[in-house]
Every structure is written in C-alpha cells, then in structure tokens.
Structure 1
C-alpha cells in the first residue's frame, strides 16, 4: 500500500493518534477527511495541515456512535474527494471505571469502540468489493490482546474491536480488502490520562498500569509506525513490541497470567495508598 494519491477518512482526528495520522497521511500524498466529535478540534487539525498542503484536508464534525452521522461523513468525503480508499476507525472512549454505574455508559463505549467500526465497514464494503480494493484500519489497544486493569467496558470493547478486524481480514482479505489493527500501550493523549483524572483509585490504577508497563509514545511516533505497517500491509500493528511477548505468555499459561495480573493490580492499588 502506497498512500500517495489515496483518499482517507480518520475518525477521532481532532488530536492524539488521529490528528497525527491525518497529518502524516497528507505529508505522504493522501487527501484526508478529519472527523471528530469536537468539530472545532477537527477544524484546527485540518487548518494546520492545509497551511502546508492547501486543499488536502477537510474537517467534519461527526459522532460515530450515530450511524446516520457515519453515513453523512462517508458521503461528505466522497463529495469532497471521491471514493474512500482508507478508513481509519480511530475514535475511542475510555469508558466507565470498573463495571460502570449503568447500561448507558456501556452502550456508549460499545457504540464508539466497536459498533462504529461495524457500521463503517458495512457502508464501505460494497464499494470496496466492487472496486476490488480498500483498506480498513482499526485502532484497538494492547488491552484488546491483554486486558485493561480498571475498566471492564474498555477491555471488552477493545477485545471486540480486535476480533472484528480479524473477521474482516479473514472474510474479505482475498477480495482486495486489506485490514490492519493498531494495538498500542501508552500513548500521550487525553485518553491515557482519563483514569488518573477520574478521582477513583481503580481508575488511577488503570492509567498507572499502562504508563508503568512500557514507554509512553507520542502520537507522531505511533503515526510513523502505522505508515510503515501499512506499506507492508501488516495486520497487527504493535508500537510497543513487548506486547507480543506479553500476549504469548498469556496464551501459553492463561491461569498463570491471570494470577500475575491480579498481583500487578494489587501492587498498583497499594501504590495509590502510599
């Protein structure tokens, strides 16, 4: 995959990994629709990109928990630039701490972290299959391969996002649809700090679980790694290579891994008390 001349949509593009991806795609010759729930943030990213690359980026305010808004986003991208070649399902939410307090918190997390991927794929696949090409990039998390201490909803939906990306790759990979799944650990974004800012000990442990497990990367560093992976059409994108070793240890002895994670969680909670 070479992105030069391609049309891309990046959800959650108003900052963080999404903003960095949008900027890097344009530098590599793509035209990009920057979509975000925060319309002003999306406009800011698109304006910054356009200073050096006039006409290469447009901003769209979109709530990807709403299928009608995903439909409108895809229609706007096609009207502005033409058929979409790459779709980055990057928007995400941290979800509630622990089990959450109600079903609405879970519903929102499921809608953004999973159903938005399913809905976008359902809308894009007919055109991609007709043309014989298309690229779906899912931003999941290392939590989708391992777990997320402190948040059941985040862990469950990220596991589901990985599973959906796998299914797309298996089902349509021989028909020209390429799929990659991004699973980073710590990246310096507001999402990373959501737990420690929650005022809840378990939420604070969620942030420390990530920041103490490996390096915290910048969004630009992650975007660089993603572009290299797309060129190789690699499914699993691991900005933190050590995640693969963790994943292998989990699969090799699940009970031992669960015991170790319980001990790790307790250390994090004990550290919060000291």
Structure 2
C-alpha cells in the first residue's frame, strides 16, 4: 500500500497527485519532477498528443478533459479517485490568458474566470470534505506574479490571477488548522507557449528578472512544499516587489506607469 502524502519527508513518495494543464509547460514539468519523487499521477489537459506523451514518460494516467466546467472537474475527480484510490494532492495548473486590454470581450472574461478561478473552487468543493474526514490533503494553485502584482496589457489575466491567489489564501486560512495544506505558485516569466504568444515589448518586461525554465518552477514547488510555505516564488525578487507594492503603493503604481509608457511607444493606447 503506497504511503500517503502527509508529512514533509514523504509528501510525494506514493502520493496520489492530480495535475491539470499537464500537456506542456509548467504542468509537464510538475509531472516529470513529481514522478521522479515517486508520486502516482493522473494528468489532465485538452491537448491529447502532448498529454499522451507526458503521461507515457511519467507512467501516469491521462484524462483528456475540460477544466472550465463543473462537470469537467467532477469527471476528472471521479476518474482520478477511481485510479488512485484517493487523491492526496491536487495541482490546479490549467490557465488561460484570454482577451487583451480595455475591450476584452465577455467571452474572454468568462473563460478566464472559469479556468483561472472557478476551476479551483470547483475542485476544492469536491476534495476538501473528504480531506477533512481523513485530516490531510494538499491543494496547489498555479497562479502568477500577476496575482500578487499585476500584468500590463491583460486585465483578464491580472484580475483572475489575483482571484486565484485570493482563493488559495482563503482556503489556507479556513482549513489550514484542519490538516489541509495550500500553496500558491507565483512565477514571473517562464519559457512557455503563453510567454511566447505575447508581443516582444511585454515579454521583455515580464522577463526582466529572467525567464525561467518550467523545471525551475517545479523545483521551486518541491522546495516550498518541503518548507511548508504558502507562497511559492520561483523568482525571489517577487517578494520584494510584493512588499514594496503594499507599503509604497503610489510609488509602485508610478513605476508601473513608467513601464506602461514603454509599451505605449510600441502600440497605441486605443489598442489596449
């Protein structure tokens, strides 16, 4: 019988772990790293080929499914529970950057809320009652430094990633005394398709402290879980920015406005 992931020295070995958005990027890196740690994995994504490839190399079960709906989350939880016997760790990694600027349409806002925020709430609603019964469980949200600070250009991403961090914080405050561990992963630039898909000027700003490899984010998660820290900051500088934002808000906003001016030189304000 595999060990359950409850203690810091055995969090991953034998633990049943679900990772959403696992076909590529950070999710695939989580799968590779945690498989090496001895976790038993169920991986989910909408992209069948990438998902199949990651699942094969990590000896995982692949579930092609849509995390933007309550039924999609329920089906994933059911499939994962059937395979794993129980879910010890949930890593909500699926995310979207949909819609740009002031005129982001209703569909973009809705998709962003469904995937970046409500997917976490729907999963927690199914998992936490069971975890409370047994006295343990670990819920991990891949958010973003945008959820602690902001991101220029994409209000849908900035706002919903704030929501993701806020929801993770609420879970930790509400259930932390009952054996439920919660972490929010908040990197800046990471070498993924999402970063590659934005314009050069914006990418340069996001990657000012260096664009990490997805494997660096996975390692930061493993390290933070070992330390039992809520915020997972693959870019340590984010802690300083977050502190400065809280204590010198107007100066921080002035700095962000200066960065926005650099983007303004590249494209008209009416485009945002």
Tell me the TM-score normalized by structure 1.
Answer: 0.91
Other-structure match for 1:17: 26
Q: CA deviation at 1:101?
A: 3.7
Match of residue 218 from structure 2: 223
CA deviations over 1:188-234 (Å, ceiling 9, x no partner): 000112222xxxxxxx54323202x2111001111111111111221
Give structure 1 stretches of 5+ with no counterpart.
51-56, 197-203
SS at match of 2:17: strand
Structure 2 partner of 1:241: 236
Please point out which of 173, 177, 183 is paired with 2:176: 173
Cα pair distance change 1:205/1:111, threshold 3 Å: farther
Please tell me whether residue 96 in structure 1 is matched to residue 99 in structure 2. Answer: yes
Query: Using the alignment, how far apart are the partners of 1:14 and 1:83 within structure 2?
Result: 22
Contact 1:208 1:268 in 2 (8 A): no
User: 1:164 and 1:34, CA in 2 relative to 1: closer, same or farther beyond 3 A?
Assistant: same
- Give yes or no for contact 1:128–1:134 (8 Å, CA) kept in 2: yes
2:230 is the alignment partner of 1:209 = no
Structure 2: distance between partners of 1:98 and 1:205: 15
Alpha-carbon distance between aligned partners in 2 of 1:101 and 1:222, rounded to the nearest angstrom: 29
SS of the aligned residue for 2:211 comes to coil
Match of 1:135 in 2: 138
Q: 2: distance between equivalents of 1:206 and 1:150? A: 8
1:183 and 2:186 aligned: yes
Deviates more, 1:156-165 or 1:38-47: 38-47
1:99/1:153 contact within 8 Å kept = no
What is the DSSP-based 3-state SS (H/G/I as helix, E as strand, rest coil) of the residue aligned with 1:91? coil
Structure 2 length-normalised TM? 0.92
CA distance in 2, matches of 1:221, 1:183: 12
Q: What is the CA–CA distance in structure 1 between the aligned matches of 2:97 and 2:147, rounded to whole Å?
A: 13
Residue 161 of structure 1 is matched in structure 2 by 164
Could you say which residue in structure 2 is the equivalent of 1:71? 74
SS of residue paired to 1:146: coil
Deviation at 1:271, TM superposition (A): 5.3
What is the alpha-carbon root mean square deviation over aligned residues? 1.3
Aligned to 2:248: 253
Hey, what's the Cα distance between the residues in 2 that align with 1:93 and 1:100? 17
What is the DSSP-based 3-state SS (H/G/I as helix, E as strand, rest coil) of the residue aligned with 1:195? coil
The residue that corresponds to 1:43 in the other structure is 52
SS at match of 1:191: helix
Unmatched runs of 5 consecutive residues or more in structure 2 = 1-7
SS of 1:8 mapped into structure 2: strand
Q: Is the 8 A contact 2:183 2:229 kept in 1?
A: yes
Q: What is the number of residues matched between the two proteins?
A: 259
User: 1:200 maps to what in 2?
Assistant: none
Deviation, 1:170, is: 0.3
* Deviant stretches of 4+, over 4 Å: none
